[in-house]
Structure 1
Amino acid sequence: MTIQDSFASAVGALRGVAAADRLCEVCVELLSVDAAAISLVFDGANTGTLGASGDAARLYDELQFTVGEGPCLESVSDRAPVMVVDLAADVDTGRWPAYGPALLAYGVCGVFAVPVLVAGEYVGALDLFRDDVNMLTGDELSGAMVAAELAELPMLDLLGNNLMALPADVNGPGWAELNAVTRTEVSQATGMLVAQLDVDPAEALVRLRAHAYATNRSATQVARDILERRLRLDPG
Structure 2
Amino acid sequence: MAARTGTTPRRAVGAAGVTFREHLLAAVDGHRGSDAADRLCAACVMLFDIDAAAISLVFDGAATGTLGSSGSDARSFDELQFTLGEGPCLESVAQCSPVIVTDLADPAEQRWPVYGRAMLDLRIRGVYAMPVVVAGEYVGALDLFRALPGQLSGEQLAGAISAAELAGIPVLDLLDADMNAAVNDPDSSAWSEMNALTRAEVSQATGMLVAQLGIDPAEALLRLRAHAYAVGRPATDVARDILERRLRLP
- Residue 213 (str. 1) matches residue 229 (str. 2): yes
Match of 1:78 among 73, 92, 95: 95
Maintained 8 Å contact 2:97/2:131: yes
Give how far 1:98 is off: 1.0
Cα 1:181–1:62 change in 2 (3 A) is farther
Q: Among residues 179, 196, 202, which one is paired with 2:218 in the alignment?
A: 202
| CA deviation after TM superposition for structure 1 residue 93, in Å | 4.0
Find the counterpart in structure 1 of residue 77 from structure 2: 60
In structure 2, the CA distance between the partners of 1:179 and 1:120, relative to structure 1 (3 Å rule), is closer
Closer, same or farther: CA 185–163 of 1 in aligned 2, 3 Å = farther
Residue 47 (structure 2) pairs with residue 30 (structure 1): yes
Q: Aligned with 2:56: secondary structure?
A: strand
| Counterpart in the other structure of 2:56 | 39
SS in 2 for 1:88: coil
Change (3 A) 1:109 1:180: farther
Instruction: Compute the displacement of 1:160 (Å).
Output: 2.2
1:186 aligned onto 2:186: no
Equivalent pairs counted in the alignment come to 221
Q: Quote the offset at 1:133 in angstroms.
A: 1.0
Which residue, 108, 124, 128 being the options, matches 1:108?
124
Aligned partners of 1:180 and 1:28: how far apart in 2? 29
TM-aligned CA distance change 1:119 to 1:163, over 3 Å: closer
Q: Does the 8 A contact of 2:172 with 2:179 survive in 1?
A: no
**Do residues 87 (structure 1) and 104 (structure 2) align?**
yes
**Displacement of 1:180:** 9.8
Structure 1: runs of 5 or more not aligned? 165-176
- Deviating beyond 6 angstroms after TM superposition, the runs of 4 or more aligned structure 1 residues are 177-180
Alignment partner of 1:14 is 2:31: yes
Q: TM-score, normalised by structure 2?
A: 0.84
For structure 2, the 5+ residue unaligned runs are: 1-12, 14-18, 181-192
Q: Contact 1:50 / 1:181 at 8 angstroms: preserved in 2?
A: no
Distance (Å, rounded) in 1 between the aligned partners of 2:177 and 2:24 = 23
2:142 alignment partner, one of 113, 121, 126: 126
Question: Is 1:4 aligned with 2:21?
Answer: yes
| Counterpart for residue 226 of structure 1 | 242
Task: Please give the TM-score of this superposition, normalised by the length of structure 1.
Answer: 0.89
The CA deviation string for residues 16-51 of structure 1, in whole angstroms up to 9 with x for no partner, is: 110001000000011111000000011110011000
Q: Percent identity?
A: 65
8 A contact 1:162–1:178 mirrored in 2: no
Measured in 2, the distance between the counterparts of 1:25 and 1:180 equals 26
In 2 relative to 1, CA 7–93 (structure 1 residues): closer, same or farther, beyond 3 Å?
closer
